[in-house]
Amino acid sequence: MGIRDCALQSSAFTALKYIYDHREAVAEKWRADGKKIVGQLGCDVPDELILAAGMLPVRVYADQGRPLKEADKYLEFSFDPVVRSQFEKLVDGSYGNLVDYLAISNSTDTIVRIFLYLREIRRQEPEKNVPPIDFIDWLFTRNRMHQERNELIIRMFRETLEKWSGHPITDDDIRSAGAICNENRAALRRIQALRRCAEPRITGSEALVIIGASLFMEKEKHTELCLQVAESAKNWPVAKGPRIYYTGSNQENTDLYDIIEEAGGVVVGEDQDWGDRHYDRDYKMEIDPVRAVVDRYMLRQYSAKKSFVSQRVEALDAEADAVRADGVVFFTHAYEEAASWDYPSQKQSLELRGIATAAYAKQIFPIAKNDGLAESVKEFIQQLKGGE
């Protein structure tokens, strides 16, 4: 399964796949046109504000197989492999040549370290081609005081963007960008509905391509293509097989989902940032524009890193129910450990509800380097099928 011919025959899907496979394409065109680009490291950098500033947000991602000369020089061994690769591109000039600025959110403690290290590199080794940086220091625990603090932090980020863009950002600019993002999320939810329904028409790998493309292109264009795919996919064949919910490390490409789906499962949902979590919760048009940004990023689906075990158990149970999961796959990269503390409680709760689980910890990147992973996944899917 994975990405099927029916998807590849869709011009809208192939257009999205082109962007997914050529992630610099749109940014390079923007740059050639003299327009500004903001790289986003971490999943909590608000698109709405960057768009309101008239700039293009693009997500920093890891390259497979790239030598990690800079990462090996600056980073301790306990940085996870995906972050190592992202860091490499941030220090070796790849992003310095692509983006004008870098916005980093404290989405994981590893990324916080990356911010501190990049700041030091810029201070001590200014000859390195590392873009100017702003850091968004969210407070993720949910209470009034933290909400107010987050509003201050987002106002500061707005001011930074005004400096970067060279012009003021009005409330109307932010609201307009919020509306654009909401339309994009609505389009992605139409894709989601075609995954979560009783007879899924879109596979997990196909969904990752559709969702992931939105991280590297204009939102309006993405929305348009996404709606075309949603329309076309109504007639795609049903993806048959045990329904799998995925939780764990971000999957920046389709390799793991391909393994699951080639083994006969169908990934119908996930809580990772390159999947369903990316478009969870809308920007509230009716409230103060900065508060609406805070509301959207602070109160959406719990992240694996910034929430407590009980919250994660409840959230995963709800998601597994919502997608009618037959099985849940837990997957974490080596040194990306926080979710490991959630796992035993989540596993216990799911199994009490009759949902089978498979767990893969300490995984390396790229996925293909994990000996035995494909075989183990296949075995799990076979178990879900009743051992046929």
Partner 1 sequence: MANDKKTQSAAVKSLKATGAAAAYQKEWFAGLRKRVDAGEAFGYLNADVPMEVLRAMDIPFVVNQWWAAICAAKRMTGKYYGLLRQKGYRDDLCSYCATALAESFDPDDKTEGPWGGLPNPTIAITRLTCDCQGKIFELFAKNHGANFYAMENTQARKVPLKWWELDEDRWEELYDSDRLDAAVEELKELIRYLEQITGRMFDTNKLIEVMHLINEQELWYKKTRDLIAETSPVPVTVVDTINAVMQAQWQRGTRWAADHAKSLYEEVKALVDQGYHAVPNEKIRLMWIGRGIWHDFAFYQNFEHKYGAAFVWSMYLAMGADAYIRIGVEKDPLRALAARYIGMEDFLHMPPWNAQWWLKEARTNKIDGVVYMIPGNCMQAVEGSYFAIKTLEDAGIPVLIFEADPVDARKWNRDTMTDMVEEFIENRIIGK
- Site residues (CB under 8 A) for partner 1? 73-79, 106, 108-110, 112-113, 115-117, 119-120, 123-124, 135, 137, 139-141, 143, 145-146, 149, 152, 305-310, 335, 337-338, 340-345, 347-348, 361
Closest distance between partner 1 and the C-beta of residue 52, in Å?
Answer: 23
**CA separation, residue 64 to residues 89, 243, 365 (Å):** 11, 28, 7
Contacts of 68 (CB under 8 A, 6+ apart): 84, 85, 88
Q: Which is nearer to partner 1, 345 or 382 (CB)?
A: 345
| C-alpha–C-alpha distance, residues 241 and 261, integer Å | 8
Rounded to the nearest whole angstrom, what is the least distance from the CB of residue 110 to partner 1 in the complex? 6
Is the Cβ of residue 124 or residue 235 nearer to partner 1 in the bound state?
Answer: 124
The minimum distance between CB 289 and partner 1, in angstroms, equals: 20
Nearer to partner 1 by C-beta: 149 or 221?
149
Q: Which is nearer to partner 1, 311 or 376 (CB)?
A: 311
Q: Please answer whether residues 269 and 322 qualify as being in contact, where contact means their C-beta atoms are separated by less than 8 angstroms.
A: yes
Instruction: Output the six-digit token pair for 11.
Output: 């011009």
Q: Report the residue number, 74 or 283, with the smaller CB distance to partner 1.
A: 74
State in angstroms the smallest separation of the CB of 30 from partner 1: 29
CA distance linking residue 298 with residue 140, whole number of Å: 6
State the first-to-last Cα distance of the chain, in angstroms, to the nearest integer: 18
Smallest distance, Å, CB 34 to partner 1? 30
Can you say how many angstroms the Cα of residue 58 is from the centroid of all Cα atoms in its chain?
A: 12
User: E strands within the chain?
Assistant: 37-41, 56-59, 101-105, 133-136, 243-248, 266-270, 327-333, 356-363
Would you say 28 or 120 has its CB closer to partner 1? 120
Q: Shortest gap between Cβ of 302 and partner 1 (angstroms)?
A: 12
Token pair 């993405």 is found at 222
Nearer to partner 1, 227 or 316 (CB): 316
Distances (CA, A) of 354 to 317, 349, 380: 11, 9, 15
- Separation of alpha carbons 296 and 47, rounded Å: 11
The encoded tokens of residue 21 equal 């496979």
Instruction: Please enumerate in sequence order all residues whose Cβ is within 8 A of that of 276, keeping only pairs 6 or more positions apart, or say none.
Output: 192, 211, 269, 270, 301
- The token pair at 78 is 């306990």
Which residue lies nearer to partner 1 by CB, 40 or 106?
Answer: 106
Instruction: Quote the least distance from Cβ 143 to partner 1, whole Å.
Output: 8
CB of 362 to partner 1, least distance (A): 9
